[in-house]
Amino acid sequence: MKRCLVFLLIAGCFVLGAVAQNKKTVKRPPAKKAAAAAAKPQKPKGCVSRVPYIGAVILDADTGAVLFEDKADMPGYPASTLKLMTLLVIQEKVEAGQVKLDDPVKVSVVACKTGGSQVYLDPKETFTVEELLYAMMIQSANDAAVALAEHVAGTKEAFVELMNAKAQQIGMGNTRFASVHGLPPSAGQRHDVSCARDMATLSRELCKHPAVFAYTSASYRQFRANTPKPFDMRTHNPFLKEGVDGCDGFKTGYTATAGWSIVVTAKRNGRRVIVVVLGSEGRKMRDAKARELLNKAFALLPAAAPAPVPAAPPAPAAR
């Protein structure tokens, strides 16, 4: 009996020692690493952005040739870059004489309640088409986009139909617009969907209308100028802010679900390129990739054909 008790005591001590040793060898994550993992920002639910982007493309604006592409047909949400289509539809109406730049636009309650980036329109106010175009392109004002759409087509929905018809006409086969501004959809509505290639196609179409560069190249302008409450509008385009050589457009875009996008165009030595970066996970990432592609773009342009050498004049006839 005593031998059994002694054996049990020895066995118990052995087990307890093993458990204690096992606890010592269990690896636990350092507190700093655990805290860093907890602090890492999580992508919002439904976010489609990627690293470094969903898709990208470089286009020769003069010939339409694709100089570079990476997942250019991958669908994403264009966010405010779709205002380029809003601009194109209106510009064509202006050139056709159906809309005038000095037309007065009465602000509706629907327009003034539009969220996101805005110039805080009030239903008591009236502005010209031209003033609202500047607001839409410099400030990326969603309320201005709605006011313009209602003025041109009667309702936002009717204007979206014009946008989609134009998209199909110019070959934007992977695009479907559902709004005039690019904000996330309300319950029961659909997302705007496009891809890098289609946004480049849209941008090349815009280049055929030189008047649009007045709006897309402006980096600052006052809205409600000469009133007691002027509003300073500043571009969101980092390339315009920095005065990048030859840059005169086009548009940035961001929502939490779409990620960060940009459409850039620049003209140097008579040659124009278009760069699209769609759906980056961060603003700095988007800007860095766009800068890299813009620097690359002009190097990728084929050399211009040498001017033909004029033929020598015929020798005078012998006399």
- Does residue 147 contact residue 182 with C-beta atoms inside 8 Å? no
Structure-token match 């458990």, residue found: 19
Compute the distance between CA of residue 307 and CA of residue 294 in angstroms, rounded to an integer. 27
Q: At what angle are helices 142-153 and 83-95 packed, to 10 degrees?
A: 40
- Catalytic option among 83, 156, 251, 289: 83
Query: Which of 167, 114, 164, 153 has the alpha carbon at shortest distance from 136?
Result: 114
- 231 burial class (0-12, 13-18, 19+ CB within 10 angstroms)? middle
- Measured CA to CA, the distance from residue 58 to residue 70 in angstroms comes to 9
Query: In sequence order, which residues have a C-beta less than 8 Å from that of residue 126 and are 6 or more positions away?
Result: 104, 105, 106, 107
80 belongs to the catalytic site: yes
| 71 carries an active-site annotation | no
User: Residues 108, 140, 179, 261: which is the catalytic one?
Assistant: 140
State the catalytic residue, choosing from 80, 108, 203, 261: 80
Identify whether 261 is a catalytic site residue. no
Nearest-10 Cα torsion for 8, 13, 15, 16: 140
Residue of 1, 24, 22, 145 lying closest to 81 (CA atoms): 145
223 within 8 A of 233, measured Cβ to Cβ: yes
Name 194's Cβ contacts closer than 8 Å, sequence gap at least 6: 75, 76, 77, 78, 81, 82, 172, 174, 175, 176, 177, 278
Q: Which two tokens stand for residue 56?
A: 């990208």
Known catalytic residues are 80, 83, 140
